[in-house]
Amino acid sequence: MVTKLAEKQQSSPSTGGKSATKWIMTLLSSSIGQKFVMGITGLLLCGFLVVHLAGNLLVYVGADAYNGYADKLHSMMLLPVAETGLFLLLFAHMALAFKLTRDNERARHISYQEPQSKIEEKPSVFSQTPMGNTSGWMFLSGSIILGFLVWHMIDMKLQLNPTVDYDGKKPYGIIVDVLGSYISAPIYIVGTIVLGFHLSHGFSSAFQSLGLNHPKYTPLIKKLAIIFALVIAVGFVSLPLWGFFIR
C-alpha cells in the first residue's frame, strides 16, 4: 500500500535514504539521533569509569599490586587503540553537548521572570544541588568535569605537574605524589564530586534517551543511577583524600 505519507517520503530528498551515508546523516542530524549518541557515549564512559576506579583502588592494596596493574596495563598492545577510542567517545559526547546546549538556548531565547517547577516529588536528595535539579546543569557539571580531565591529563599523561617529581619513579610513587599534590588534590575532589552529580541524572537519562522506559524497570534504573553516582563519587574522592592524608 502506498500511502500519502510514504509517497511524500520517497520524493523527499532528506529522508529517502537510498545511500548509507545519507541515512546516517539523517540519523545524526536529527535531535533524537543526537540524543542516542549522547546516551551511548555517556554509558560507555560510565563503563570506563568502573574499570578505571577498580584499577586505581589498588593503591589501597599496596605499591606492588598497583605497580603490577599499571605495568600490565601499559604493556598491552591494544592500549593506544583503547585510549584513542576513549578519547573519541569523550570528544563525541562533548561536541554534542556543546551543540545541543546551544540549540536549546536558542529554542528558549527568553526566560520567564521566575520559572517554578511543577514536579511534585523530587527524585531524591542526591539529585538536588544548590542550583536546583541536577538535570538543569548537566552542561555546567560537564564543563567542570572537562576542566578536571584536562588537569588530570597534565598530571598523568604529560607529567607536567610542577609539584610532583616524576624522575625515576614507579607508577605508585607518581600517583601518591599526584594525589597528595596541593594543586591536584582539590581539583580531583571537586571534579569527582561534580562527576557524581552529572551521573546521578545522566545514568538514568541515557536509558530514557535510548528508548528504554518501562514501569517494570525505570524506577529501578533511577535508584541505580543514584547508587552508581555515589559509588563512583565516593570511590574517586577517597583517592585524593587518602593521598593528602599519607603525604
Partner 1 sequence: MSETLDLTLKVWRQPGPDASGRYVEYKLTEISTHMSFLEMLDVLNEQLNEKGEEMVAFDHDCREGICGMCSLMINGQAHGPDSGTTTCQLHMRRFKNGDTIVVEPWRARAFPVLRDLVVDRSAFDRIIQEGGFISANTGSAPDANSVPIPAPVQETAMDAAACIGCGACVAACKNASAMLFVSAKVSHLSTLPQGKPERDSRVQSMVAQMDLEGFGNCTNTEECQAACPAEISVSNIARLNREFLRAQLCSKE
Site for partner 1 in 189-208 (CB under 8 A): 201, 204-205, 208
Nearer to ligand HEM, 101 or 218 (CB): 101
- In the list 25, 36, 193, 242, the residue contacting partner 1 (rule: CB under 8 A) is 36
Closest distance of CB 198 from ligand HEM, Å: 6
221 touching partner 1, by CB under 8 A = no
178 part of the interface to ligand HEM, by CB under 6 A? no
Contact letters for ligand HEM, residues 38-57 (x by CB under 6 A):
xx--xx-xx--x--------
Euclidean distance between CA atoms 156 and 168, whole angstroms: 14
State which of residues 67, 218, 224, 244 lies at the interface with partner 1 (CB under 8 A): 218
111 contact, one of partner 1, ligand HEM, none, CB 5-8 Å limit per kind: partner 1
Q: How far apart are CA 87 and CA 146, in angstroms?
A: 12
CA distance 243 to 19: 55
Given ligand HEM, partner 1, none, residue 162, with its beta carbon under 5 to 8 Å by kind, binds none
Q: Cell numbers at residue 145, please?
A: 568535569
Q: Which one of 72-80, 99-107, 166-174, 228-236 is the stretch in contact with partner 1 (CB under 8 A)?
A: 99-107
Q: Which of 19, 21, 75, 117 is the binder for partner 1 (CB under 8 A)?
A: 117
Exactly one of 58, 59, 70, 97 binds ligand HEM (CB under 6 A); that residue is 97
Identity of the residue, 15 or 163, whose beta carbon is nearer to partner 1 in the bound complex: 15
- Contacted by 247, from ligand HEM, partner 1, none: CB < 5 to 8 Å by type: none
Q: Which residue stretches of the chain are H helix? A: 4-11, 20-29, 31-56, 63-74, 79-107, 138-156, 171-180, 184-209, 218-246
* Residue 211 binding result from partner 1, ligand HEM, none, given CB thresholds of 5 to 8 Å by partner type: partner 1
Strand 132-133 to 128-129 pairing: antiparallel
- CB contact at 8 A, 200 and 233: no
Query: How far is residue 185's CA from residue 130's CA, in Å, rounded to a whole number?
Result: 23
Cβ(195)–Cβ(235) below 8 Å:
no
Distance CA 196, CA 232 (A): 6
Task: Let me know: does 36 contact 80? Beta carbons within 8 Å.
Answer: no
CB-count burial class (<10 Å; 0-12, 13-18, 19+) for 111:
exposed
Q: Which of 137, 172, 188, 203 binds ligand HEM (CB under 6 A)?
A: 203
Residue 246 pairs with which residues in a beta bridge? none
Specify the amino acid at residue 153. Answer: M
What is the distance between the alpha carbons of residues 52 and 30, in angstroms, rounded to a whole number?
33
User: Does 229 participate in binding partner 1 (rule CB under 8 A)?
Assistant: no
Interacting residues toward partner 1 by CB under 8 A: 1, 3-6, 8-10, 14-17, 23, 26-27, 30-36, 100, 103-104, 106-120, 133, 135-136, 138, 201, 204-205, 208-215, 218
